[in-house]
């Protein structure tokens, strides 16, 4: 599998360094590998702030509040994967670095750890997982996130 990640930085809260991009790429790659994803894939990752992610959350989810990460899958279902030529356009991830920094601080870990977790979480969403549909799905997603974070060293 070849992973192509298109990064955009639309915030001024934190400087996005190569290490941040590398951790996000590693989180996405390992999530896809964990799930047995073998096709070449493209993912877009946008770093933003609380104000911008609040606007997106209101526009696309009818929730007028800031959140840490939003996922915009390109596939309606995982079964559609075979209709796309490679690389498969998996979708878009939007991460509020402002929120990630504050959450990481609150949980006593680095912003890099939190951003990696948000990238894993969002990639699972791009693959069709949804913790909001049932308690069982939420437990499965939590378990997978924990295992993937251990694989990548967090």
25-58 pLDDT per residue, tens = 999 999 999 999 889 999 999 999 999 999 999 9
Domains and CATH numbers, the chain: 3-151 (3.40.390.30)
Tally the C-alpha atoms within 13 A of residue 137's C-alpha that lie toward its C-beta: 10
Q: Which residues share a beta bridge with 92?
A: 44, 72
Residue 12 zone, left/alpha/beta (φ > 0; ψ -120 to 50; rest): alpha
**Residue position matching structure tokens 């993912």:** 43
Q: What is the pLDDT of residues 68-101, one digit of tens each?
A: 999 999 877 666 677 777 899 999 999 999 999 9
Measured CA to CA, the distance from residue 14 to residue 79 in angstroms comes to 38
In degrees, rounded to 5, the angle at the alpha carbon of residue 128 between the alpha carbons of residues 124 and 130 is 75
């Amino acid at each position: 599998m070849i992973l192509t990640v298109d990064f955009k930085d639309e915030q001024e809260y934190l400087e996005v360094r190569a290490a941040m991009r590398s951790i996000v790429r590693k989180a996405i790659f390992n999530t896809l590998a964990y799930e047995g994803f073998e096709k070449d894939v493209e993912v877009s990752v946008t770093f933003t702030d609380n104000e911008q992610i609040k606007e997106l959350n209101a526009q696309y989810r009818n929730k007028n509040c800031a959140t840490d990460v939003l996922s915009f899958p390109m596939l309606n279902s995982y079964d559609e994967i075979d209709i796309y030529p490679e690389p498969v356009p998996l979708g878009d991830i939007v991460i509020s670095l402002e929120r990630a920094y504050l959450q990481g601080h609150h949980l006593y870990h680095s912003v890099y750890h939190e951003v990696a977790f948000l990238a894993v979480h969002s990639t699972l969403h791009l693959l069709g997982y949804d913790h909001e549909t049932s308690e069982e799905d939420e437990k499965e997603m939590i378990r997978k996130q924990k295992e993937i974070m251990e694989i990548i060293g967090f």
